[in-house]
Every structure is written in structure tokens, then in C-alpha cells.
Amino acid sequence: MGESTCDLLRRGNCAYRVEALTAHTNVDALARLAIEMKAGFAAIGDPSRYGALRDALAGTGIACGAGPDSLDEAAQRPADWVMSAIVGAAGLSPTLSAIRRGAIVALANKETLVCAGDLVMAEARRHKSVILPVDSEHNAIHQVFDFERPEGVEKIILTASGGPFRLWSEEDMAKATLAEAIAHPNWSMGDKISIDSATLMNKGLELIEACHLFPVNEDQVDVVVHPESIIHSLVSYVDGSVLAQLGSPDMRTPIAYTLAWPERMAGPSPRLDLIQIAKLTFEAPDNKRFPALSLARQAQRSGGQAPAILNAANEVAVRGFLDGAINFLDIVTVVHLTLDQMGQGSIGSLEEVNEIDAEARSRAAQFVQNRA
């Protein structure tokens, strides 16, 4: 996401000035981009990488920091527009920092709204911060949703590619390798998001996110498998009209939409050739082979702590699979077991979110260990 955003900034005819850049562990890329973009501040999420970043930026005049506090510091700097793309619950605090100073937040981190959607949206209203979704599905909905007349919306329809295992049996998925699981057919993404796409948990998280971004209930959100990833999502209206946003699978399109909003900017994404595509296909999701979607839907119905527990357990389970401790099908099993074991109380503050997140991670880690 960061590289794609910087690619658009390069093409922006000097219309943008970069205030801060962050990364998790990739010091070389962060330093290179910070110098190229003439950023005022660079932060690395991994504290152990501070020395390497400091040395890489020596003599440039670019301030630097490391660790979670430095990510918050980056978000608090005086930028009008913030790309929130830190993966997982780690993105929640920096996103809130940007929201609380009234910035336009381009939200590519779905876990922020999954963990604390009510809290985040209330803070956005309080501080008059604009949240623009970057996920291709929510960005598509944002482009065709009638916010002035939401009562005319019947439902929204999230599209899913189906991931690399769309046609695999449960028996084959149980033996899936890491390389097979991260081989997304249409998008180039990081390991965690790729695994979420393979389990369809990604779509479950997007369902929860959609209920916070748009004035719809869980039963107004449908999911349809669309292997070509050309229609990014749709909005169905009460008069029978269905509006869709189409485009080639290139994240620079939704990023450009948020970067120039409410205007449009020229983008480099490949243009859609419907004649060449010729055919678009659609399928219902298979909830038996991919139970993550049903788990997420139930978590959203339950509300309170459930979505935060779901997210935390999923992050731990995905890490367990990436580390080779559990098999692919164990990911959703660990999430299910953690949800069953924990309570369903309410969440009213960031501190409570962090407490629930920590407890869910601890319990999920034990389940991972038990299945290893």
C-alpha cells in the first residue's frame, strides 16, 4: 500500500508534500522512500531496527523514531491526509491519533473498525474527521452509495475472488502449503492478508467493516464470489437498480480515489477492456468449506467484544500457520474455539479494546500450541 501510494505521489505534479512515512521492519525501503519523498519524519514499528534506520537517514535531516509510540507520532504530525495501512490491530492507535486531529483518513486497515468500530466512528464524528475506505470493496461501495438518501438502499454486495482454494476440497486444504495459501490469483498482497483471503476471513472482516462505514445492518450485507475481481462491489436499491464499480485489480485506483477526493486524479491503472474480458462469473460462497465468513457474521450479530476477539484470534492463528505450527484448516478452528471460550461484554474505550485483544491472543496462542 505504501509503495502504491508513493507511486501516485510521484505522478502528482508536486501537488503533495509528504510529512511522514512508516514501516514495520523494512528499513531499506523506508529510508529510500523517505529520502525520495523528502519526508519530515520516518518511523519503524520494530524497535530493534531503530539503529539501522538512524544510520540510513544520517545527514538527511529526516527525523526518525521506532516502536508503537513513533507510529502514533507519525500519525499526529500535521498532514491533511493519512494513509492508514498498518496491518492488524497494531493500526488502531495510530489511526485514532490521526482521527483525533481531524485528518482525512484513507483507511486500508480493516482491523481498526473490526476491533473498535463504534469507538472509531464516534471519534471521527466528534473530531470531524473524514474516513475514506481504501479496500477495493468498500471503496467501490463508497463510489456508488447514495449517502444523501440511504433509505433507498436495499443491501450492499461485497465481491470475493474466492482465493487460491476456491475449488479445493477440505481434504486438500488441510494439506495446503504456505506457498499455495499466499498465491492469490488476482492481487499482490502481504502474507497475512493473503492468508485471510484464502480462508475467506478477509471477507468476514470486510462484512464487519462495512456495517461501520455505511448505514446498513449485518443482514443487509451479502457476499458473492466473483473470481475475475473486475466488479469490486455493488449496491442494490429498493427500486431494483443495482449499481456497481468496475476496474482492473490494481490498488492504485482506490488509493487515487481517496487521495484526490472529492475530485478525481489521473491514475496509471490498466484500463478495463470488457471485450477482452468477455465474461464475468459469480458463485455463492461455500460456508461449509469456508466457515470463517459465518463466524464473522455471527461476531457482528453478537457485537460488543466478539469482533475484537475474532480479529485477535485470527491474527494469532494466521501467525501460527505462517510459522508452520498449525495447518491451514486449523486457522478457523482456533478462532472458533477462542470465540466460544471468551465472554461477550461491551467495549467502551481503547484501553478495554487492548485488554480484550491481549486476552484473546493469549487464549488463541494456547489453542495453537495445543494443536501443534
Spatial distance between the Cα atoms of 108 and 125, rounded to a whole number of angstroms: 19
Whether the per-residue pLDDT at 190 is higher than 80: the answer is no
d(CA 139, CA 136): 5
Cα–Cα distance measured from residue 197 to residue 190, given in angstroms and rounded to the nearest whole number: 11
Enumerate domains of the chain plus CATH numbers: 2-134 (3.40.50.720), 135-250+272-300 (no CATH), 303-372 (1.10.1740.10)
Q: Do residues 318 and 258 make contact, with C-beta atoms less than 8 angstroms apart?
A: no
Whether residue 13 has pLDDT greater than 70: no
| Confidence class for position 186, pLDDT limits 50, 70, 90 | low
Contacts (Cβ under 8 Å, ≥6 apart) of 245: 139, 140, 141, 143, 144, 231, 232, 233, 234
Mean pLDDT, the chain, as a whole number?
94
pLDDT in tens, 288-299: 999 999 999 999
3-class SS at 234? Answer: strand
- Pairwise CA distance, residues 363 & 295, whole Å: 17
Q: What is the pLDDT of residue 187?
A: 62
User: What is the crossing angle of helices 191-199 and 306-322, to 10°?
Assistant: 110
| Dist CA 22 CA 294 (whole Å) | 34
Q: How confident is the model at residue 188 (pLDDT cuts 50, 70, 90)?
A: low
| AA identity, residue 108 | A
CA-to-CA distance for 162 and 2, rounded, in angstroms? 25
Closest by CA to 28, choosing from 68, 55, 5, is: 55
CB 111 within 8 A of CB 205: yes
Residue 189 has pLDDT above 70, yes or no: no
Number of Cα atoms under 13 Å in the Cβ half of residue 120: 28
E strand spans, 213-365: 221-225, 231-237, 242-246
| pTM recorded for the entire structure | 0.92
Question: In whole angstroms, what separates CA 201 from the centre of its chain?
Answer: 11
pLDDT class for 195, splitting at 50, 70, 90? very high
Residues 334-361: what's their mean pLDDT? 91
